[in-house]
Amino acid sequence: MSKLKDLLKRAEGMSESNFDLSKYTNGKDDETAALKLKERYEQLKKEIGEISKDLSKLEGARMTALFKLGGLGSNINPETAGNDRLNTEIENCSNEIEKIDRALEPLYKKKEPLAEELRAIEKATNELVNKNAEKLGISPLSYVSKYQLHLD
């Protein structure tokens, strides 16, 4: 079990993150630890996917607003400089972009630590699979198949 802990510590160091992966592996044999890491990996992928969907929608809305702002800006000339309607639309569009930017920021902040933990789990699981496959004298792919560690 100490080899597993060393392996996890090394993987955590490689990811430059502060995640305590031992909560998924303490007191467990290597196969159980790998399954726990797989479960957490799948949970993280799902959470990141949901956040990514929201980010995509907001980024799409932001791009639309930027194009609209560009179109409005192209209408500015000496004759329309005092046009209150145009100025109001430009201001509204700018406000909409700022509002979207404020909504994007917390999503990016929420996604980054999840992605870091995901990378740490990938590295720890990789090392665990390679070590145990070598111990059994089989390929890592065979080990993954044997213990049903496939990631969907």
Q: Is the pTM of this model over 0.95?
A: no
- In the chain, what are the domain boundaries? 2-146
Contact 132, 33 (CB under 8 A): no
Question: How far is the C-alpha of 26 from the C-alpha of 59, rounded, in Å?
Answer: 41
Decide: helix, strand or coil at residue 149: coil
pLDDT tens for residues 31-77? Answer: 777 788 888 999 999 999 999 999 999 999 999 999 999 999 888 88
Decide: helix, strand or coil at residue 81: coil
Amino acid 4: pLDDT: 44
Q: Report residue 77 as tokens.
A: 């000339």
Label residue 152 by pLDDT band (50, 70, 90): low
Write 18-21 long-range contacts (CB < 8 A, 24+): 19/116, 19/117, 19/120, 21/120, 21/121, 21/124
